[in-house]
Structure 1
Amino acid sequence: MNIGQLIKLERQRQNMKQEYLASGICVPSYLSRIENGLVIPSEDIQQHLLKRLNVPLDALNNDGDEAKLSYFKSLFKSVINSRDKQKAKSLYQDVHIYIEEHPFEPNRLTLLVMETRLMLMLPNYANEVLTNVAILEEFKKEMSTDQLFYLSTIQGIISYQNNEFRQASEIFMNIFNLIKSYRMEDWEMAELYYISSLAFLSESRYILAIDYVKSALSYFNQEILIERSIECLVILGIAQKNTGVLKEAIASYEKAREISSKIESSKFKGMIEQNIGACYSLLKESDLALFHFKSSLQANSDPNINVISILSILKEHHKNNDISNALIWLNSGLEILYKLSESNRDFYANHFLVYKTILLNETNSISTFKRVLDYFESKQEFKYCSIYCYVLAKKLAKEKQYKQATIYYEKGFNYHIKQSKVSSWEELS
C-alpha cells in the first residue's frame, strides 16, 4: 500500500473526516488526491498529517514484520479450525494492539481482514465488524485474491447470520468463482465448504449442501478435528433427511454419536438425538421418535434447546391422535416459554398457540390463526404460514365453512410459492 492509501485507512479507522484531517494542512480536495494515490505529498505535509493522526513520524519507515505476520497467520489457522472462542478473543486482542501500534504496517489490509474475521466469532462486536467491512470495501481494488477471499467470506457469514440465506449463497458461489485460478490452502477451502454448506442447507439446496459438507468433512477427518467432523456429520444428516434418504441420515447421525461417545463429549448429544427422532418420525416409527426426542430433552439443560424437543414430542402425540399426552406436552411447552430468550419466546409461543387452539377446540380459531400467520409472515417464515393455512383450511372444511376453507387453501398455496422462491408456476415443475 502507498502512503496515501495508508493515510486513508488510518483516517477511516479513527472515524475522522477528510475535512478535519486536512484542516490547516491542505485543502480537502488535495488530501483526497493524496489518498487516491494521484499525488505524493511533500515531507512537510506528510509530517503534519501523521501528527494529526497521532502516528509516530518513523511509522513511514516500517518495512513490515513478516515473522509477526506469519505468526499471526499460524494462530489464525488454528483458531478457524478449532472455532475456539477463547483463542479467537486472545488473537483478536493481539492483532488489534499490533495494528494500533503499527498503523502503517504494509500488511495492514491482511491484518484488518484477519481482525474482522476474528470479531465475527465473538459476541458484542457487530458494530465494529460492520465498520471494518465498510473500510475494507473502500480498498477492494487494492486487495489480493486471498484478501478478497476473506472479505467476501466475512460478508457471506454476515448475510447468513442475518438470515439472508439467498444472498449468503450467492456470495459463497462468487467466492468459488473468484478462486478458480488461485490456490487457497486446504484449511481455508474446508472452512469455505463448511460455511457454504450451512447457507445452502438454509436455502433448501440440499444436493449442494451435501457435496460441500462432504468436502469439509474429508479435511476435518484428515486433520483429526473431531468436533468439526461431528458438526459436518450433523449437517450431512439434516440435508440427507430433507432429501428423503432417511436411513442414510440416521447412519450419519449415528456416526456422529459414535464419535461423540469415543471422546466422551456430551456437547452434541441433544442435537443428534433430536435429529434421529425427526428421522424416525418421518419413517412413521413413532415409539423410536419419541424415545430419541426424550433422550434429547434429557441431554440438555438449556430451555432454548429443550423447547425444540418439547414441541416435537407434542407434534408426535398429536399426529398419533393421543390427545391426553399432547395436552400434557402442550402444558410443558407453555410453562417453559418464560425461560426462553425473547425471540425464541415469540416464535414458540405462536407454535404452541396453534396446538392450544386445536386441542382445546377453541371457537375463535380464525382470529387466532390470523395472529399466528401475521407473526410468521413478518418473520418471512413462509413454510409455517403455508402449513398453518392448510391446518386452518382443513379445520374450517370439517366445520362445513367451505368458503373460508377455500380462502385459506389458496393463501396456503401462495405462501408455498413464496417459500419456494419462484416467480411463476412453471418453475414449480
Structure 2
Amino acid sequence: MEIGQLIKLERQRQNMKQEYLASGICVPSYLSRIENGLVIPSEDIQKHILTRLNIPLDSLKSEIDQEKTIQFKTKFKTVINSRNKQKAEALQLDIHNYIESHPFEPNRLTLLLIETRLILMLPDQTINIRNNLAILAEFKKEMDSEQLFYLYTIQGIVAYQNNQFSQASEFFSQIFTLIKNYRMEDWEMAELYYVSSLSLLSESRYIMAIDYVKSALSYFNQELLIERSIECLIILGIAQIDTGVLKESIATFEKAKEISLKIDSSKYNGKIEHNLGASYSILGNQKQALYHFQNSLNIKTNPNDKLVTIVSILKEYHKINDVQNAKIWLEKGLELLDQLTEEYRSFYKSHLSIYRALLLEKDNIIPIFKEALAYFEDIQDYKYCFIYCQVLAKRLADKKQYKQSTIYYQLGFNYNLKLSHVTNWEELT
C-alpha cells in the first residue's frame, strides 16, 4: 500500500474525520488527494499527519519483516481448517497487536482482512466486524484478487449469519468468478465449497449444495481433518433429507455418528441425533423419530440448540394429531424463548406463535400468520412462507372462508416460485 492509502486506513481505524486530521496541517481536499494517491505529501506534512495520528515518526523508516505476513497466513490456514476458536482468538490478537505497532506495514490491508475473518469465528464481535467491513469497503477498488477473495468470503459469511441467504450466495458466486484469475490453494477451495454449501442449503438449492459439500469433504478426508469431515457429512445428510433420499441420509448420519464415536467426541452428537430424528419423521416412523429427538435433547445444553429439537418434537406430535402432547411441548418451547439469543428468539417465536394459534383453536388466526409470514419474508426464508400459507389456506377452507383461503393459496404459490428461483412462468415447463 502507498503512504496515502496507509494514512487513510489508519485515520479510518481511529474513526477520525478528514477535517480533523487536516486541521492546521493542510486543507481537507489536499488530504483527500494524498489519501487517493494523487499527490505525495512532503516530509513536513507527513510528520504533522503522523503526530496527529499518534504514530511514531520513525514508523516509515522501520524495517519491514517480510516473513511476518507469511507466518500469519500459515497460522491462518491452520485456524480455518481446525475451526479452533482459541487459536483464532490468539492469532487475531497477534495480528491486531502487529498492526498497532506497524501502522505502515505494506501488507496491512491483507492483514486487516485476515483479522476480520478471524473475528467472525469469535462470539460477540458484531460491532468490530461492522467497523472493519466499513473500512475495507473503502479500499475495494484498490484490492487485488487475493484481497477480494477474503472480502467476498467475509461478506458472504456475514450475510449468511444474518439469514440473508440469497445475498450470501451472491457473494460466493462472485468468488467463483474471481478465481478464474486467482489460483486458490486447496484449503481455500475446500473452505469456499464448505461455506457455499451452507448458503445453498439454506436457499433450498440442494443438488448444488451436495456437489459442493462433497468437494469439501474430499479435501477434509484427505487431510485427516476429522471434525470438518463430520461437519460436511451433517450438511450432506440434511441435503439428502431435503431431496427425499432418506435411506441415504440415515446412512450418512450414522456414518457421522460412527466417526464421532471413534474420535471420542460428543461435539456433534446432538445435531446428528436430531437429524436422524428428522429422517425417520419423514419416513413416518414416529417411534424412531421421537427416540432420536429425545436423545438429541438429552445431549444438548445450549438453549438455542435445545429449542430446535423441542419444536421438532412439537411438530411430530402435531402431525399425528396428539394435541395433548403437542401442547406440552409447545409450553416447553415458550418457556425457553427468553433464554435464546435475539436472532433465535425472533425465529422461533414466529414458529411457536403459529402452533399456539393452531393448538388453542383461536378464531382469528390471520393476523398471527401475517406477522409470522412478514418475518420469514424479511429474512428471505421462503420455505416457511410457502408452508405456512398452505397451512393457513387449508384452515380457512375448512372453515368455509373460501375467498381468504384462495388468497393464501395464491400467495403460497408465489412464495414457492421464489423458493424455486423461478421468475417467469415459462421456466415452469
Coarse TM-score class (shorter-chain normalised): over 0.9
Confirm or deny: 8 A CA contact 1:240 1:248 kept in the other structure. Answer: yes
Matched, 1:171 2:141: no
Other-structure match for 1:355:
355
C-alpha spacing 1:347/1:40, structure 2 compared with 1 (3 Å) = closer
Per-residue deviation at 1:175? 0.8
TM-score, structure 2 length as denominator? 0.92
Q: How do 1:93-112 and structure 2 match up within 5 A?
A: 93-112=93-112
Q: How do 1:227-376 and structure 2 match up within 5 A?
A: 227-376=227-376
**Structure 2: gaps spanning 5 or more residues:** none
**Structure 1: gaps spanning 5 or more residues:** none
Percent identity over the alignment is 67
Other-structure match for 2:393:
393
CA distance in 2, matches of 1:346, 1:144: 39
Confirm or deny: 8 A CA contact 2:389 2:412 kept in the other structure. Answer: yes
Other-structure match for 1:217:
217
TM-score, structure 1 length as denominator? 0.92
Confirm or deny: 8 A CA contact 2:260 2:268 kept in the other structure. Answer: yes
- The answer to which structure, 1 or 2, has the higher relative contact order (CA under 8 A, 6+ apart) is 2
Per-residue deviation at 1:260? 0.7
Partner-residue secondary structure (3-state), 2:170: helix
The superposition leaves residues 224-271 of structure 1 with CA deviations (integer Å, 9 ceiling, x where unpaired) of 211111111101111121112222211211111111111111111111
C-alpha spacing 1:427/1:50, structure 2 compared with 1 (3 Å) = same
CA distance in 2, matches of 1:191, 1:272: 21
Per-residue deviation at 1:73? 1.7
CA distance in 1, matches of 2:365, 2:7: 64
C-alpha spacing 1:43/1:321, structure 2 compared with 1 (3 Å) = closer
The superposition leaves residues 2-47 of structure 1 with CA deviations (integer Å, 9 ceiling, x where unpaired) of 2222222222222222222222222222222222222222222222
- Range moving further from structure 2, 412-421 or 286-295: 412-421
CA distance in 1, matches of 2:49, 2:303: 55
Other-structure match for 1:383:
383
CA distance in 2, matches of 1:12, 1:112: 12
C-alpha spacing 1:38/1:393, structure 2 compared with 1 (3 Å) = closer
CA distance in 1, matches of 2:250, 2:150: 35
Per-residue deviation at 1:304? 2.2
Per-residue deviation at 1:63? 4.1
C-alpha spacing 1:418/1:44, structure 2 compared with 1 (3 Å) = same
The superposition leaves residues 360-392 of structure 1 with CA deviations (integer Å, 9 ceiling, x where unpaired) of 434344454445445544554443333223223
Confirm or deny: 8 A CA contact 1:92 1:119 kept in the other structure. Answer: yes
Other-structure match for 2:413:
413
CA distance in 2, matches of 1:188, 1:144: 16
Other-structure match for 2:60:
60
Write the letter of the residue equivalent to 1:265.
Answer: S
- Range moving further from structure 2, 202-211 or 227-236: 202-211
CA distance in 2, matches of 1:69, 1:347: 41
Confirm or deny: 8 A CA contact 1:62 1:105 kept in the other structure. Answer: no
Give the aligned length.
Answer: 429
CA distance in 2, matches of 1:361, 1:3: 68
Other-structure match for 1:422:
422
C-alpha spacing 1:415/1:128, structure 2 compared with 1 (3 Å) = same
Per-residue deviation at 1:135? 2.3
CA distance in 2, matches of 1:363, 1:32: 63
Confirm or deny: 8 A CA contact 2:203 2:419 kept in the other structure. Answer: no
